[in-house]
Amino acid sequence: MRTVAVVGASLAGLSAARSLRKRGYDGRLVVVGAELHRPYDRPPLSKEFLAGAIGEGELALERDDEELRAEWVLGARATGLDRTERAVRLADGREIRADGVVIATGAAARTLPGTEGLAGVHVLRTLDDARALRDDLARGGRLVVIGGGFIGAEVASTAYALGLDVTVVEAAPTPLAGPLGEAMGRVVSALHTDHGVRLLCGVGVKGLGGERRVDAVLLEDGRSIPADTVVVGVGARPCVEWLEGSGVALDNGVKCGVDGRTSVAGVVAVGDCANWYDPHTGAHRRVEHWTGALERPDAAVAVLLAHGATEPGVPRPPYFWSDQYGVKIQFVGHAAGADSVTVEEGSTDDRSFLAVYRRAGRPVAVLGMNQPRLFTRRRKQFAPAAS
């Protein structure tokens, strides 16, 4: 294998490049990124960076002494993959021929239809998004966050600390019910009301008010919420449209095996765009978590370098964390399918506890709020077999 192209220059792409070199690959390595920026850390974008506590230099993911011997092709969007010619096509007309391809194009924030060109309306996915939102939050005033997921909750928490008047609008009856289940979703989302942030649940957004700049969020029940700034946090879509017609199977992202191998030999997928098979649940799922983008590319790189002649291992259960209103939230495993959840340490009223999810008596997930030591110990017990 003389040339490997990593398409995507965020954490998953960087992790794949690192694994290639660590596993002894010494050929040509090309890393393609749609953004102009070198790899940067995304979790602080909704927290420390948005609050102005850290600068852009502190977001860098590459170490000062790191030498990947890679060719960086940045500001270049991939538009196609020709599996016959083994070529990645770019929007500027260039082609990169490669013997192996790592798909790491990630996901893009979903937007609210009809809001294009309306000032004061933001999504938060990239460094450029965070720059623009930070500038608007510095104006103060009223912020409405549409979507009560983790990104929306973190933005609300940061804006609250900055002194803004904050409202969170969530279409579902219970925020975070998907990842945490209804009972724990209610507990975690109560952090908003604990701090005087308005939380409106079970109501959708009809549209936004304002001519040149947003001035209100219009709800489906007829209410109008005044707003100087709006953040749309309604999920993300995998960036895989460039692979249509390539022969790479697509289904809510790139459909791949437990180790990232796709339907095309010599092509693997990692990160937020990869719809991996999960042996813990027996189904495919996209894992949009920092830890997955850091750890899982190594298994895909092993497949690539071995030309598919490797036995897939069992990945660790997904893990994620969130920091909101000074509270650390940590979760590992799968809440879906659990038939019970029990608080085993601490108290939900104190927002400091450890909860264990079980299915047929077997632990399948653990949630911690402000219990980092206990959670870390339980996580090790919960996932004894690392990939």
Quick: pLDDT tens for 154-199: 999 999 999 999 999 999 999 999 999 999 999 999 999 999 999 9
Smallest Cα–Cα separation from 27: which of 105, 103, 88, 98? 98
**Per-residue confidence at 309, pLDDT binned at 50, 70, 90?**
low
Smallest Cα–Cα separation from 266: which of 105, 95, 82, 91? 82
Region 301-314 average pLDDT = 82
pLDDT at 336: 87
**Per-residue confidence at 316, pLDDT binned at 50, 70, 90?**
confident
In the predicted model, is pLDDT for residue 325 greater than 80? yes
**Residue 46: what are its φ and ψ, rounded to 5°?**
-95, -5
Tell me the chain's radius of gyration from C-alpha atoms: 21
Task: Give the number of other CB atoms < 10 A from CB of residue 224.
Answer: 12
126 or 283, which is more confident? Answer: 126
- β-strands 274-278, 254-256 pairing: parallel
**Per-residue confidence at 387, pLDDT binned at 50, 70, 90?**
very low
pLDDT at 219: 98
pLDDT at 278: 87
Quick: pLDDT tens for 335-365: 988 999 999 999 999 999 999 999 999 999 9
pLDDT at 64: 87
**Residue 75: what are its φ and ψ, rounded to 5°?**
70, 25
- β-strands 165-170, 142-146 pairing: parallel
5 or 313, which is more confident? Answer: 5
CATH 3.50.50.60 fits 111-234, yes or no: yes
pLDDT at 276: 93
pLDDT at 383: 56
Task: List the chain domain ranges.
Answer: 3-108+237-305, 111-234, 326-382
CA distance 255 to 322: 27
In the predicted model, is pLDDT for residue 386 greater than 70? no
∠ CA 263-266-272 to the nearest 5 degrees?
65
**Per-residue confidence at 384, pLDDT binned at 50, 70, 90?**
very low
Quick: pLDDT tens for 227-272: 999 999 999 999 999 999 999 999 999 999 999 999 999 999 999 9
| Residues comprising the chain, all counted | 387
CATH architecture, domain 3-108+237-305: 3-Layer(bba) Sandwich (3.50)
Quick: pLDDT tens for 70-114: 999 999 999 999 999 989 999 999 999 999 999 999 999 999 998
Q: Do domains 3-108+237-305 and 111-234 have the same CATH topology?
A: yes
The Cα-based distances of 74 to 26, 71, 130, 133, 138 in angstroms read 22, 9, 19, 23, 30
- Name the average pLDDT for the chain: 94
CB 146 within 8 A of CB 111: no
In the predicted model, is pLDDT for residue 385 greater than 60? no
Predicted model pTM = 0.94
Quick: pLDDT tens for 33-76: 999 999 999 999 999 999 999 999 999 999 988 989 999 999 99
CA distance 120 to 102: 36
**Per-residue confidence at 32, pLDDT binned at 50, 70, 90?**
very high
**Residue 362: what are its φ and ψ, rounded to 5°?**
-100, 130
Smallest Cα–Cα separation from 59: which of 71, 45, 73? 45
> Two tokens at 322?
């969130």
Q: Which amino acid is present at 333?
A: G
CATH architecture, domain 326-382: 2-Layer Sandwich (3.30)
